[in-house]
A = this chain, B = another copy of it.
Amino acid sequence: MASRSFSVEELKATFPTRTVTAVLQCAGNRRTDLQQVGKTSGDPWDVGAIGNAEWTGVRLADVLDAVGAPDASDLFVAFTGADEVDVEGEEALFGVSIAMSKARQPDVLLVWAMNGEPLTPEHGAPLRMVVPGYAGVRSAKWLTRIEVRDMPSDAPIQAHDYKLFPADVTSDTVDWSRGLTINAMPLNAAICVPGSGESLPAGEVRIEGYAIAYDRRVSRVEVSVNGGREWQQATFADDPETHWGWRRWTLDATLAKGRQHLVVRAFDGAGQGQPERPDTMWNFAGYLCTAWHHVHVLVE
């Protein structure tokens, strides 16, 4: 299989244009809740390391076909970005990979537009990957190279980061060749409004947030305004539901004066619920916090 170069203009001229709505979520979203359990590495993300957008580009599958890439289940497709990253003191180009079976799925795109506008530099212009359903790290920005390999990328981001380990593994004892490579993302939900620590006037308040289950779909969102003793069904604000997008939800509730404790939990299309407590999923790198999300407010 030969090497071949495409400009973005050549991609646009050669392949059909596709648009997909998809969430990109950092594997470290909600890490702060794990950091309440115990110290972790990584940035202290609250519930905002996630975004939902409409992405436009061409199918990776079409590009792979055009260059004659084999479609074998034991192959990998590696992406290199133009940005340098520092992993464990090692400086290297950003590099990640996904399995060929995922790479061939029709919603995996090489993208030049976001929400109908050309990509901005911070979102990966001129060209980025969007791998719906996978942790954001696999959607490489500032894409310079795609390579078909018989092994995952050996770039440090792929090989020495973004893996899930049991609670008894630490940054001192970790063997990076083990652990679960974080690709598909689990069920999650968060309260965005009101924010934690906010003061609110007494009376009716609209509670808002998101839930995300990717291709499993979100089937139900439940909100408690009394710390989890009783639950109400939230209303979905997004219509229609997209395959890879989040579902925004709202609940109108009447809050009494005093310190109030809001909680959200979701269920997916397989009836799967979220674990209740972050200590049951703590890991030293602070990935995949999917515990019920709590917000404390003061009602005056």
Contacts and interface: CB of A to CB of B under 8 A. Distances in A.
Contact of A186 (B270, B276, B280): B270
A54 B271 CA distance: 26
Contacts of A164: 219, 267, 271
A187 to B, nearest CB: 6
A36 interface: no
Copies in the assembly, this chain: 2
Interface in A254-295: 265, 267-277, 280-281, 287-288, 290
A180 B276 contact: no
A180 B273 CA distance: 13
A202 interface: no
A113 interface: no
Interface size class of A (residues with CB under 8 A): 20 to 34
10 contacts: A164-B271, A166-B231, A185-B270, A186-B270, A186-B273, A271-B281, A271-B287, A273-B281, A273-B290, A275-B275
A186 B231 contact: no
A132 to B, nearest CB: 13
A208 to B, nearest CB: 20
B184 A269 contact: yes
A37 interface: no
Given A164-B267, A276-B277, 16 more contacts: A166-B222, A180-B220, A180-B271, A183-B270, A184-B216, A184-B269, A186-B273, A187-B272, A271-B287, A272-B272, A272-B290, A273-B280, A275-B275, A275-B276, A276-B276, A276-B280
Nearest to A169: B233
A182 B271 contact: yes
Contacts of A281: 271, 273
A28 to B, nearest CB: 12
A92 interface: no
A167 interface: yes
A269 B290 CA distance: 14
Interface in A49-77: none
Contacts of A268: 186
A32 to B, nearest CB: 18
Interface string A4-16: 0000000000000
A273 B274 CA distance: 7
A170 to B, nearest CB: 15
A76 B270 CA distance: 19
Contacts of A277: 276
A167 B270 contact: no
Nearest to A276: B276
A187 B184 CA distance: 15
Contacts of A267: 164, 180
Interface in A158-182: 164, 166-168, 180, 182
